[in-house]
Amino acid sequence: MDLKDKFAGLMRQRKGRLTHEMVLAPGKFGLGRTPERLQPDSTTSMICGFCSTGCSLKIHLKDGKAVNLTPDPEYPVNLGMACPKGWEALTPLKADDRATMPMLRGEDGKLAPVEWDAALRLFTDKLKATIAKHGRESVAFLSTGQIPTEEMFMLGLLAKFGMGLVHGDANTRQCMATSHVAYKQSFGFDAPPFTYKDFEESDVVVFFGANPCIAHPIMWERVMMNPRKPEIIVVDPRQTETALAATRHYALQPKSDLPLLYGLAHILIREGWIDQAYVDAHTSGFEAFREHVKTFDPAFVGKLSGLGEAALMEFAKSLRPGKRVSLWWTMGVNQSHEGVRTAQAIINLALLTGNMGKPGTGANSITGQVNAMGSRLFSNTTGLPGGRNYQDAAHRKEVADILGIDAAIIQQKPGLAYDQILTGVKEGRIKALWVIATNPAHSWVDQEEFRRAAANLELLVVQDMYHDTDTAQLAHLVLPSAAGAKRKAWSSTPSAAWACSRRSIPLRARPWRTSTSSSSSPNIGAANPSSRTWTPPSRPSTPWPNSP
Ligand code: SF4
């Protein structure tokens, strides 16, 4: 090839789409312009599942297949925007490793396809046998806010009342229980007091342990739409992308957030920068709280937090009544040492300054997963449906009467939390584990320790849309589930607003050769190496007294 041909090769694309394939044409269904070759013949909608914001996406369907998407301009959450993750919402549908058939691990230690009937028979027979031999507490489930509310509700009812399990967690007690308990103790019920409009109506927006630029990009875009040009304060030990974009960043020492919040309350009270009328009218226990924060003077807190006294005063001044202040937190608080107390201390700042129940205000928890709110309300793990309690005999009877079951089936207290379930697995008390839409072999705090604990299990069942997650690779049985885009389902945003994926994209099972073998004993064999000692995560002590 001479130089001329080489040059021509560089200049001329010989493969790829032809120009006419890239023509844009007026879209139907109010979609603006769309590629002509991808003109939809109908649309549906789905809620993006990559974070908790809950953006609505219009899905373009052609011959029953999802061919494109457009963020919904009419939807009050994302107002026609999507972050780079949302634009990829259809990518999982095309993934090569989508689970489409049940897979059973055979004597050779390998997973192989098995028919649904056989898989379900093995699953139910083995669980029944485990319960018969070791009791109800020997089987547990783990799930997440990645599954929608209806499925979470059904899972909780089926597991607890149908299968008779005692232990299960929707990962609520890994993170969102912090906000749940903080709101319940402060307000009497779990109700985040905000809407996304508050991002646009604040004068001061404070983020604690949150990085919305990356984790919740459309929430950040809502802050950027604020016409009041708000002061944006980030409290985070790390210089995150959000910290870089903020007007002020307080890079406090790790684990000093609770004393920092008490120190701010101390200054606000001392300087008279509180809304006394609001405090008198709407709160109780103020005097006890004032006494409690007395010892958190700026000199002490400034040193402990590493921020210094002057920075603390500057911070407190920004919270003074007269401006609309909204306070936001997410996993930096929820998954931290003394998380409930820290969340309550944020709530107390909002109450002290009267920043509650008005536009642009609030003490506002942001969740992580698309249906974290739904799972914490409906998982049936820490409470009974409809806000009822396991401990209350009248509540148990009400639920039993509605469902037409014997009240004696309903346990009298919540089961073990996520970490306690894994401790039970490690100690051999839990013999069978059903893992749904989560991947603890990857996400648990110590992956190796999880793997070794899982080696103790007589049955590990993974139910997931992918057949090759780290946990699925340890499982005896893998059950496939549909992708979020293919289900009509409800999820709950961090502000407890309900969001619906309107209509499902048709389910299409991939052709797959099925095995007729089904009754062999699960044998995880070499796939799950033998155990070494696992030290469960210790529970932190409580050095700070409870706020009122
Ligand atoms: S902000 Fe969250 S919900 Fe919205 S498009 Fe991005 S990942 Fe999806």
C-alpha distances out from residue 480 to 115, 269, 424, 435, Å? 11, 56, 26, 12
Cβ neighbors of 152 (< 8 A, separation 6 or more) are 143, 145, 170, 371, 374, 375, 378, 379
The reported pLDDT for the residue numbered 544 is 26
C-alpha distances out from residue 439 to 93, 171, 449, Å? 19, 11, 14
CATH topology of domain 177-365: Dimethylsulfoxide Reductase; domain 2 (3.40.228)
**Nearest residue by C-alpha to atom 4 in ligand 1:** 55
* Distance between Cα 496 and ligand 1 center (Å): 16
382 CB within 6 A, ligand 1: no
- Containing H/E element for 166? none
Mutate to test the pocket of ligand 1, among 59, 70, 72, 85 (most ligand atoms within 8 A of CB): 85
Distance CA 32, CA 313 (A): 51
Query: Coil, strand, or helix at residue 442?
Result: helix
**Nearest residue by C-alpha to atom 5 in ligand 1:** 86
C-alpha distances out from residue 545 to 20, 254, 288, 340, Å? 69, 19, 11, 12
At which residue do the structure tokens 């950027």 appear?
224
Nearest to 493 by CA among 319, 337, 322, 373: 373
Query: Coil, strand, or helix at residue 67?
Result: strand
CB atoms within 10 A of CB 26: 10
- Return the CATH number of the domain spanning residue range 23-93: 2.20.25.90
The reported pLDDT for the residue numbered 485 is 65
Cβ neighbors of 276 (< 8 A, separation 6 or more) are none
Q: Which DSSP string do the residues of 95-110 spell out, in sequence order?
A: -TTB--S-EEE-TTS-
Helices (H) and strands (E) in the chain, counts: 21, 19
**Taking the model in full, what pTM does it have?**
0.84
489 CB within 6 A, ligand 1: no
pLDDT tens across the length of the chain (548 residues)? 677 777 777 776 667 777 767 777 777 777 777 788 888 888 989 999 999 999 999 999 999 889 999 999 899 999 999 999 999 999 988 899 999 999 999 999 999 999 999 999 999 999 999 999 999 999 999 998 888 888 888 999 999 999 999 999 987 787 888 998 899 899 988 888 999 999 999 999 999 999 999 999 999 999 999 999 999 999 999 999 999 999 999 999 999 999 999 999 999 999 999 999 999 999 999 999 999 999 999 999 999 999 999 999 999 999 999 999 999 999 999 998 899 999 999 999 999 999 999 999 999 999 988 888 877 777 777 788 877 888 999 999 999 999 999 999 999 988 999 999 999 999 999 999 999 999 999 999 899 999 999 999 999 999 999 999 999 999 999 999 987 666 677 777 777 777 777 655 554 444 333 333 333 333 333 333 333 222 323 333 332 223 32
Which tens digit of pLDDT belongs to each residue from 342-369? 999 999 999 999 999 999 999 999 998 8
The reported pLDDT for the residue numbered 101 is 94
85 CB within 6 A, ligand 1: yes
The CATH number for 103-175+372-389+400-527, chosen from 3.40.50.300, 3.90.480.20, 2.60.40.420, 3.40.50.740, is 3.40.50.740
Nearest to 62 by CA among 100, 31, 96: 31
450 CB within 6 A, ligand 1: no
Cβ atoms of 60 and 44 closer than 8 Å: no
The reported pLDDT for the residue numbered 472 is 97
* Distance between Cα 87 and ligand 1 center (Å): 9
Distance CA 377, CA 496 (A): 10
Beta bridge partners of 71: 57
Q: What is the 3-state secondary structure (H, E, C) of 517-546?
A: CCCCCCCCHHHCCCCCCCCCCCCCCCCCCC
How do the domains of the chain map onto residue ranges?
Answer: 23-93, 103-175+372-389+400-527, 177-365
* Distance between Cα 365 and ligand 1 center (Å): 17
* Distance between Cα 216 and ligand 1 center (Å): 6
Distance CA 54, CA 152 (A): 17
